[in-house]
Amino acid sequence: MQRSLEGQIALVTGASSGIGAGVAQSLADAGAKVAINYHSHAEPAEKLAAEITANGGDAFAVAADVSDEHETDAMFDAVVKRYGTVDIVVANSGLQKDARFTELTLDDWRRVIDTNLTGQFLTAQRAVREFQRRGPRPVSKALGKIICMSSVHEIIPWAGHVNYASSKGGIQMMMKSLAQEVAPLRIRVNSIAPGAIRTPINKDAWDTQEALDRLLTLVPYGRVGEVEDIGRAAVWLASDDSDYVIGTTLCVDGGMTLYPGFADNG
């Protein structure tokens, strides 16, 4: 793999499993030092950091609930203490608490909005402040890069997941508004909208043949995504190869957002 992020420092939130872990691995493979944030599961985050380090990279695990501003501050403090600053911030932490609308509790509405949307707000805000504090670095044309992990559900409505879809719809406008505000500072903000990626969050959708067959009717490209698909997109968005890309959502979804139901209908 091309080491397009050599000398850069990255922070990935929610990186103890799933897409976050895959993104952390890909950024490390591209030469970045990586801070691996986790909320409740230290062990897999520590293990990933140890693996990256054993393979000649540099990584460490850092705890924080990104919906809490003090913990988010402490996370950035830990990264700055360890690596001096940060160049690439991937606001990835996210969860699902699915329920039919009439059964959706206020607690589960709030938990999902707090982590998925407010968490990205706090993470991005601290990132902008840190980029401004330390000023330009020779490692990149941009002052800093922020990547918001969205979802195809920033576009596709999702019955039974109103809290989740609302959080991702919110991320879309947060990302674009922020991108517009900080582009003059040479900070690039973009999103990735993953489709169905093989991770624990959607295991029920792919772990039996029947579920997989049903899922693949929604994916024109005919396969489930892998975390490396998202990792490679994150490396590109974080590197100077995408230096003129600002405020864009990159769908990495095998065509899920192309309304495959219309292929021979409508």
Q: Residue 4 CB, nearest distance to ligand BGC (Å)?
A: 26
For residues 154 and 166, the answer to whether their CB atoms sit within 8 Å is no
* Catalytic residue, candidates 83, 164, 244, 259: 164
For residues 86 and 35, the answer to whether their CB atoms sit within 8 Å is yes
Question: Is 49 or 227 the residue whose CB approaches ligand BGC more closely?
Answer: 227
Q: Does 201 bind ligand BGC (CB under 6 A)?
A: yes
CA dihedral 221, 223, 224, 228 (to 10 degrees): -80
* Candidate ranges 3-11, 27-35, 148-156, 235-243; the one touching ligand BGC (CB under 6 A): 148-156
For ligand BGC, which residue of 12, 49, 122, 152 counts as binding (CB under 6 A)?
A: 152
Residues of span 68-107 touching ligand BGC by CB under 6 A:
96
Q: How far is the first Cα of the chain from the last one, in angstroms, to the nearest whole number?
A: 43
Q: At what angle do helices 42-54 and 18-29 cross, to 10 degrees?
A: 20
Question: Is 199 or 239 the residue whose CB approaches ligand BGC more closely?
Answer: 199
* Number of other CB atoms surrounding residue 6 within 10 Å: 11
For ligand BGC, which residue of 39, 145, 153, 232 counts as binding (CB under 6 A)?
A: 153
* Candidate ranges 57-65, 117-125, 132-140, 146-154; the one touching ligand BGC (CB under 6 A): 146-154
For ligand BGC, which residue of 99, 205, 246, 258 counts as binding (CB under 6 A)?
A: 205
Q: Determine the Cα angle at 250 with ends 245 and 251, to 5°.
A: 165
* Candidate ranges 133-141, 145-153, 184-192, 227-235; the one touching ligand BGC (CB under 6 A): 145-153
Question: Is 49 or 196 the residue whose CB approaches ligand BGC more closely?
Answer: 196
Q: Does 151 bind ligand BGC (CB under 6 A)?
A: yes
Q: Which residues contact 257 (CB under 8 A, 6 or more apart)?
A: 152, 155, 156, 193, 195, 251
Q: Does 162 bind ligand BGC (CB under 6 A)?
A: no
Q: Residue 209 CB, nearest distance to ligand BGC (Å)?
A: 17
* Number of other CB atoms surrounding residue 116 within 10 Å: 28
d(CA 235, CA 143): 16
244 catalytic? Reply is no
Q: Which residues contact 150 (CB under 8 A, 6 or more apart)?
A: 168, 171, 172, 175, 191, 192, 193, 194, 249
Q: Residue 216 CB, nearest distance to ligand BGC (Å)?
A: 12
Enumerate binding residues for ligand BGC (CB under 6 A): 96, 151-153, 195-196, 201-202, 205
Active site residues: 164
